[in-house]
Amino acid sequence: MLLSDEITALPGIGPSLSAKFISLGIKNISDLINYYPRRYEDYSSVSSINKLRPGNVSIKAEIKQTSGRYVRRRMHITEAIASDETGSVRLVWFNQPYRAKSLKSNTPYFISGNYELSRTRFSIMNPAVEMESDFPANTARILAIYRETKGLDSRQIRLAIKKLFPLIDTLDESLPDWILNKNDLISRSEAIKEIHMPSSSSSLEKAKRRLGFEEVFQLILAALFNKDENQREKSVPIKFNEKLAKEFVNHLPFKLTDGQRVTVWQTYKDMQKNEPMNRLIEGDVGSGKTVVAAMAALMVLKAAKQAALMAPTELLARQHAQTIHTLLKPLGYEDRILLLVGSMNAQQKKKAHEAIESGKAGFIIGTQSLIQEKVNMKNLALTIIDEQHRFGVEQRKSLMAKAGHMPHVLTLTATPIPRSLALTLYGEMDVSLLKQMPAGRQQINTKLVSPNERERLFVAIDKQLEDGQQMFVVCPSISESETLDINSAEKIYALYKDKYFKHRRVGLLHGKLKTIEKNKVMEDFLDRRLDIIVATTVIEVGVDIPNASIMLIQNPERFGLAQLHQLRGRVGRGEHQGHCYLMLDDSSAPSKRLRALISSQDGFRLSELDLELRGPGAIYGTVQHGSLDLRLAKLTDTRLIMEAKKSAVEFMNKEENLLRYKELALNVSRLRAVTNLN
């Protein structure tokens, strides 16, 4: 049997059952081997009958008598008596009429099930039964529980995998022996067998550690191969001009933070090299990433080269253009800044394309319009990508391809990324952190609001709106749901417009609106033609609205902690004190996540907690858990991650031949596209 064989190659799996397997994503033998359990139930402790206690139990006993009968027409009950030297117990199965004929008397069986009170007497309900002489797959052991589908349960999956054990024993090792020995890891074959059919709880933990280590090792190795490839490329060195940098800083209306100074210097040092820079700048909303980007681009303009900044939305691109124009105007570079966005008319685009191709435009700011075929860069030396997770790998590569060589790359994100996640997903990048906020920036006043406080809060908010301030209201969904009791944007918009704030100007913003409609709503808000915007999370990465001082979040439990922090950062950007109100669903005690948001304004600390509580998929802006392919490794296990990273670095330093390890090579090749490819 081969790993590539279809699932029907297994005895007992015909067309009907194979369709069930396929619905779970199991098409071939390899898929089945790699179909890891979701959880486990422990039936490994075999008890004598006289010591049974309610709950999951296992016994070794003989079946003394069986009987079956129908009740209420369609309900069939099979009963049996199991006995050992200490006593007897009743076994009960529902709708399994075959049981009576399949059980042999005076034959030792392992019996596992739930021991519970049923009709005034304790019985083992719906137990699994296997002969003692067989290698048990479903009794007297730690049982793997899989994701199931109708007509295919965990018992059937376990039995199918049990048939593959001879094949699993022949699997090639996917890690070098020196890595196994150095990290005290069991073999791949043993780990796969133990993950499906653990012989003990300690063996299961060893299997999880081995396979989890490999998951992280593969990801980090993929990132290191990307970094190595990146460093082999040649880019245009950009000379640092100290006089120009000082002149820029002297014209700023504020003082750079220490974090900004360090990051700018790191960026300048990177750009002076022949190898392309690949730096990620992390910092909360308002921490000053755009200023750093402008200082990097300034050196490119001085060198008579081009820089390009790609933003995820047109409004954000326009805001970047406006901010950067203001920053560079005192130095005389404002005429070299060009905006290119989709809403421009044909004549405007034609003129912009000509300016880009001729080199007249030195700093091009836009959206995905920058990667259109008609856009020909003359001498692109620096690519800046804002909120890079909003763009696919191919889109990012298309922008970089405009240079004709590998440009320097600066990536900006307002999403604080936990260190463990950065080590795996962004392992090929150099990371700079902007942890300080600019001087004078006030912390956002964050408060939990119970339903019975709502009316009083609205009165207080209305007074702030009367003073000319503005409010964001964020909802978890666009429309009403039949299955979820949550406040939709459409519902809240109608309530606010027609009832609570009917004397105010209320707008609605969500992802289903056309781009031109979304732009119109945000422009009206920016120009103070609206007092309130009711929105979904489309405002997470949004324009700077200095007058917006209030953020009200409906059903906050529906959002990740990092996401809530991101939303909170959208207000309090101007002269007014920022307020974030978390409108609770009911009056019950708030969760640990929400309490953490109240007590901390540190996005990095909150992102670590979000990772711990909800997993990597909850960290706003990161690749989903499935794409990371981390099914067993926990990103909170920093020791495992550091061990895997050390081994990955050593693998590269030893110049190991990756192709010697077929499974590893296959996974690394696939994962190179998941990490932040250049």
Task: Say if strands 55-71 and 75-84 run parallel, antiparallel, or are unpaired.
Answer: antiparallel
Average pLDDT over residues 76-92: 94
Is residue 279 situated within a structural domain? no
3-state secondary structure at position 320: helix
Q: Across residues 524-535, what is the average pLDDT? A: 92
Q: Look up residue 61 and give its two tokens.
A: 């006993």
DSSP 343-395: TS-HHHHHHHHHHHHHT---EEEESGGGGSTT---SSEEEEEEETGGGS-HHH
| Phi-psi label, residue 5: left if phi above 0, alpha if psi -120 to 50, beta otherwise | beta
* Alpha carbons 556 and 596: distance in angstroms, whole number: 13
Last residue of a domain, one of 561, 581, 600: 600
Instruction: Say yes or no: 564 and 464 in one domain.
Output: yes
Is there a contact between 31 and 7 (Cβ–Cβ < 8 Å)? yes
Range 583-595 average pLDDT: 84
| Mean pLDDT, range 415-440, rounded to an integer | 75
pLDDT tens digits for range 611-651: 777 666 555 444 444 456 678 888 778 889 899 999 999 99
Do the domain assignments include residue 225? no
pLDDT digits over 356-400, tens only? 999 999 999 998 888 887 888 889 999 998 876 555 556 656 766
Do 586 and 517 share a structural domain?
A: yes
Residue 583 is inside which H or E element, if any?
strand 579-583
Total domains present in the chain: 4
472 and 370, same domain (yes or no):
no
pLDDT value at position 678?
40
Q: What is the pLDDT of residues 115-136, one digit of tens each?
A: 999 878 899 999 999 998 777 8
What angle is formed at CA 362 by the lines to CA 360 and CA 364, rounded to 5 degrees? Answer: 110
User: 490, 480 in Cβ contact below 8 A?
Assistant: yes
Confidence of residue 349 (pLDDT cuts 50, 70, 90): very high
Q: Report the amino acid identity of residue 439.
A: A
In terms of domains, do 582 and 473 share one?
A: yes
Same domain, 543 and 553: yes
434 within domain boundaries = no
Tokens of 511: 């992802």
Question: What does the alpha-carbon distance between residue 623 and residue 390 come to, in Å, rounded to a whole number?
Answer: 10
Residues 250 and 154 grouped into a single domain: no
38 and 49, same structural domain?
A: no
Phi then psi dihedrals of residue 569, to 5 deg:
-70, -5
More confident residue, 101 or 441: 101
Amino acid at 676: N
User: CA-CA distance, 557 to 591, in Å (whole number)?
Assistant: 8
Asked if 260 contacts 288 with a C-beta cutoff of 8 angstroms, the reply is: yes
Which of 334, 391, 337 minimizes the C-alpha distance to 367? 391
> For a pLDDT cut of 70, what percent of the chain falls above it?
92
Q: Is the pLDDT of residue 416 over 60?
A: yes
Q: How confident is the model at residue 245 (pLDDT cuts 50, 70, 90)?
A: very high
Is 587 among the domain residues?
yes
Cβ atoms 427, 219 nearer than 8 A: yes
Q: Which residues of 600-611 are buried (b: 16+ CB within 10 A; e: fewer)?
A: ebebbebbbbbb
Distance CA 60, CA 47 (A): 8
What are the backbone angles phi and psi of residue 107, rounded to the nearest 5°?
A: -125, 130
First to last CA, the chain: 40
Q: Is residue 181 part of a domain?
A: no
3-state SS class at 287: coil
The CATH code of the domain that includes 494 is 3.40.50.300
H-run or E-run covering 142: strand 142-145
> Does the pLDDT value for residue 483 go beyond 60?
no
* 337 bridge partner residues: 363
Residue 502's pLDDT is 92
Tell me what the pLDDT averaged over the chain comes to.
88
pLDDT at 526: 87
Query: Domain containing 128 — which CATH number?
Result: 2.40.50.140
pLDDT grade for 608, boundaries at 50, 70 and 90: confident
Instruction: Tell me if 295 sits within 8 A of 240, measured CB to CB.
Output: no
- The count of C-alpha atoms lying within 13 angstroms of the C-alpha of 166, restricted to the half-sphere facing its C-beta, is 4
Q: In this predicted model, what pLDDT tens digit does every residue of 19-41 receive, in sequence order?
A: 999 999 999 999 999 999 999 99
What integer pLDDT is reported at residue 677 of this predicted model?
Answer: 41
439 φ, ψ (degrees, to nearest 5): -60, 140
The span from the CA of 344 to the CA of 352, in Å, is 10
pLDDT of residue 522: 86
Task: Answer yes or no: is pLDDT of 542 > 70.
Answer: no
What local confidence, expressed as pLDDT, does residue 127 receive? 95
Number of residues that this document lists for the chain: 678
DSSP string spanning 24-93?
TT--BHHHHHT---SEEEE---EE-GGG--SEEEEEEEEEEEEEEEEETTTEEEEEEEEEETTEEEEEEE
Scan for tokens 């802006």, then name that residue: 621
Could you give the CA distance from residue 330 to residue 325 in angstroms, rounded to a whole number? 9
Same domain, 52 and 26: no
Listed ranges 62-66, 233-237, 265-269, 639-643; the one with the highest mean pLDDT = 265-269
Q: Is residue 318 part of a domain?
A: yes
Q: Which of 551, 580, 600 is the last residue of a domain?
A: 600
Same domain, 106 and 157: no
Mean pLDDT value of segment 233-254: 93
The verdict on residue 190 lying in a domain is no
SS3 percent helix, strand, coil of the chain, rounded to 5, is: 40, 20, 35
For 111, 129, 193, 496, the CA distances from 100, given in Å and listed in that order, are 15, 12, 32, 65
Tell me: pLDDT of 249 over 80: yes
Q: Which domain holds residue 335?
A: 242-272+288-413
Most confident option among 183-192, 545-554, 578-587, 611-620? 183-192
The values of phi and psi at residue 427, to 5°, are: -65, -20
Q: What is the pLDDT of residue 620?
A: 42
Question: Domain for residue 201, yes or no?
Answer: no
Say whether both 455 and 578 belong to one domain.
yes
| pLDDT for the residue numbered 425 | 65
Task: Examine the domain organization and report whether 49 and 7 are in the same domain.
Answer: no
**93 phi, psi to nearest 5 deg:** -125, 140
Distance CA 644, CA 665 (A): 16
Q: Are residues 456 and 493 in the same domain?
A: yes
